[in-house]
Amino acid sequence: MSNPNNVSLNINHDLEFIDGHALTIPTLSILTEDGDIHPSATAPTISKHTALKLYETMRFIRLLDERMQGAQRQGRVSFYMQCLGEEAAVTASAAALDQNDMIMAQYREQAALHYRGFTLDQFMNQMFSNELDLGKGRQMPIHYGSKELNYMTISSPLGTQIPQATGYAYGQKVKHIDAKTGELASTIDNVTICYFGEGAASEGDFHAGLNMAAVHKAPVIFFARNNGYAISTPADEQFKGDGIASRGVGYGIKTIRVDGSDALAVFAATQKARDIAATQGEPVLIESIAYRLGAHSTSDDPSGYRSKDEEATHKVCPIDKFKKWLIKQDWLNEEDDAKAKEVIREDILAALKRAEKVQKPALEELISDVYDTPIPSLTRQYNDLKAHIKQHPDAYPVTAGRIK
Q: What is the 3-state secondary structure (H, E, C) of 175-238?
A: CCECCCCCCECCCCCCCEEEEEECCHHHCHHHHHHHHHHHHHCCCEEEEEEECCEECCEEHHHC
In angstroms, the CA 24 to CA 255 distance is 12
Contact 281, 292 (CB under 8 A): no
Is the alpha carbon torsion for 343, 109, 41, 229 positive or negative?
positive
| Predicted pLDDT at 240 | 93
What is the mean predicted confidence (pLDDT) over 156-170? 97
Tell me the per-residue pLDDT of 361-380, one tens digit each, with 9 for 90 and over: 999 999 988 899 999 999 99
Residue 288 per-residue DSSP state: E
Average pLDDT, stretch 14-34? 94
CA 34-38-42 angle, to 5 degrees, is 130
* Distance between CA atoms of residues 97 and 194, nearest Å: 12
Distance CA 214, CA 189 (A): 20
Q: Is 80's pLDDT higher than 90? A: yes
Q: Would the pTM count as exceeding 0.85?
A: yes
Q: Does the pLDDT value for residue 221 go beyond 80? A: yes
Provide mean pLDDT across the span 9-32.
92
pLDDT at 404 over 80: no
Inform me whether the pLDDT recorded for 102 exceeds 80: yes
pLDDT (0 to 100) of residue 20:
87
Q: What is the mean pLDDT of residues 162-176?
A: 97
pLDDT the model gives residue 357: 96
pLDDT at residue 1 in the model: 59
Q: Percent of the chain at pLDDT above 90?
A: 90
Instruction: Report residue 268's pLDDT band, with 50, 70 and 90 as the boundaries.
Output: very high
Query: Phi/psi at 398 (nearest 5 deg)?
Result: -75, -45
Q: DSSP string of 34-86?
A: TSPBPTT--PPP--HHHHHHHHHHHHHHHHHHHHHHHHHHTTSSS-----TT-
Q: Mark 40-79 as b/e (b = at least 16 C-beta within 10 Å).
A: ebeebebeeeebeebbbbbbbbbbbbebbbebbeeeebee
Least confident window among 9-18, 107-116, 161-170, 346-355: 9-18
pLDDT at 209 over 70: yes
pLDDT digits (tens, 9 = 90+) for 284-342: 999 999 999 999 999 999 999 999 999 999 999 999 999 999 999 999 999 999 999 99
The partner residues of 284 in beta bridges, in order of sequence, read: 221, 254
Whether residue 217 is predicted with pLDDT greater than 90 in this model: the reply is yes
Task: Check if the beta carbon of residue 248 is closer than 8 Å to that of residue 210.
Answer: yes
CA distance 294 to 53: 24
Closest CA to 62 of 380, 320, 302: 320
pLDDT at 8: 86
Which percentage of the chain shows pLDDT scores above 70? Answer: 100
Residues with active-site annotation: 292, 296, 305
Q: Return d(Cα 264, Cα 277) in angstroms, integer.
A: 20
Per the prediction, the chain carries an average pLDDT of 96
Classify 168 as helix, strand or coil.
helix
